[in-house]
Amino acid sequence: MPTVRDVVSRFEKRVPKSLSVPKDPIGLHFGDWNQEVKVIMTTLDIRPSVIEEAIAKNVDLIIAHHPPIFRPVALFDLTVPQNKMFQQILKHDIAVYAAHTNLDVVEG
């Protein structure tokens, strides 16, 4: 079974991280590089509805265009919807990988 590392490695051969602009928070935002991947989902943005769908479909890895975290989370107050969504990502062992400006400029 392929791992997050395997899938991302293949993805980055086509969409290299080196194409991103400086300080663009691309890469693995949530998850374990060694986690097995059976189901992959792609999305433009990480939103609560996307996470609900991922949970319902037993998704192991989400490849998102926009990074879910642009700035460090200062407080992890679970009454904040974004933080509650992050909790669900962690609770359900969903890996989240973001490819932003490198995906914008890749040829093809």
Per-residue confidence (pLDDT) for residue 31, from 0 to 100: 98
Confidence tier at 33 by pLDDT (50, 70, 90): very high
The predicted pLDDT at position 74 comes to 85
pLDDT given for residue 107 in this prediction? 83
Residue 90 sits at φ, ψ, to 5 deg, of -70, -45
Query: In total, how many domains does the chain have?
Result: 1
- Burial degree of 95 (CB within 10 A; 0-12, 13-18, 19+): buried
Q: How far apart are CA 100 and CA 27, in angstroms?
A: 9
Mean predicted confidence (pLDDT) in 21-29: 94
Residue 59: count of CB within 10 angstroms of its CB:
20
Q: Residue range 79-95: average pLDDT? A: 96
Cα-flanking dihedrals φ and ψ of residue 59, to 5°? Answer: -70, 135
Alpha-carbon torsion (79, 82, 83, 87), positive or negative: positive
| Alpha helix segments (H runs only) across 1-108 | 4-14, 48-56, 81-91, 101-105
CATH number, position 22? 3.40.1390.30
57: containing domain: 4-105
Q: How far apart are CA 13 and CA 77, in angstroms?
A: 37
Greater confidence (52 vs 75) lies with 52
